[in-house]
Amino acid sequence: MIELDAEQAAARIWFESLRDRICAEFEAIEREAGSDAGFEYTAWNRDDDPDAKGGGGVRGVMKGRVFEKVGVNVSTVGGEFSPEFAKTIHGAGESPSFFATGISLVAHMANPRVPAVHMNTRFLVTGKRWFGGGADLNPPIPHDEDTADFHARLKAACDAHDPAHYPRYKKWADDYFYIPHRKVHRGVGGIFYDHLEGDFDANFAFTRDVGEAFLDIFPQIVRRRMNEAASDADRERMLAFRGRYAEFNLVYDRGTLFGLKTGGNIDAILMSLPPTATWA
């Protein structure tokens, strides 16, 4: 078992509470669509791993009428990085020990006119203590209204803390969620931030507001689009888009690499992959 200090415990409690509220809201949307789908939760732990210091998490997955596949995971883990991997992690150069707690969410939607989405926030302790995370919208068929509303809500969350946050973190998302071999962005962006260290209370408050912003705006967008008619061509477009989403997550995503390099639960790590996809 991992012994948590006050900051680590506060972060863990928040991420788990955010998971509960997000899952409840997504299940409410399924009820509105006449579906009784609900999340199935699977706990996993690292206590039996001789190379880890314990910890674990809960993988939550729902497959419904609106959400073709959505995963909402929480985890709290500790251990040691390999010497080579430690060199790539902020603050881990002096010591390979780490602690990490966070929430990670990816939703792939049944209707091609409803955007897929990704959100995660996390707190890490290496040689430093820092927050990271963000959210980005990934529509197979973009709608300017949805893009504008999503960005406006995230901007409001950023502006409440520092007017410089949004332009900086929007650009960070634009640069990060890019598929170099395709020369395209993964979606229509959002915000991405990392290595936010120093004032724990201020940085934790910002991270909470990012989570609240996501919980506020994404369900609004889903309800706006979930009953729109979609054609077979729309479905084909979505499946091709999902193929590119999978390419990014398997080739470039740092969160996927972190999970694989630290002995995380494979099913939880790869829950971001879509249920079906196509490649030309």
Told to judge if 118 belongs to the known catalytic residues of this protein, a careful annotator would answer yes
Q: Which of 31-40, 115-124, 271-280 has the lowest mean pLDDT?
A: 271-280
Instruction: Please say if the pLDDT value at position 231 is more than 70.
Output: yes
Q: What is the pTM of this model?
A: 0.93
Q: What is the mean pLDDT of residues 96-110?
A: 94
pLDDT at residue number 239: 98
State the catalytic residue, choosing from 90, 108, 118, 143.
118
What is the per-residue pLDDT across 164-185, written as a single tens digit (0 to 9) for each?
A: 999 999 999 999 999 999 999 9
Query: Following CA atoms 269, 270, 274, 279 in sequence, which dihedral angle do they give, to the nearest 10 degrees?
Result: 140
What is the per-residue pLDDT across 56-102, written as a single tens digit (0 to 9) for each?
A: 999 999 999 999 999 999 999 988 877 777 777 777 777 788 899 99
DSSP 270: G
Is domain 6-135+193-272 annotated with CATH 3.40.1500.10? yes
Give percent of the chain above pLDDT 70.
97
Instruction: Please say if the pLDDT value at position 45 is more than 90.
Output: no
Spatial neighbors of 86 by CB under 8 A, at least 6 apart, are 92, 93, 95, 96
pLDDT at residue number 87: 78
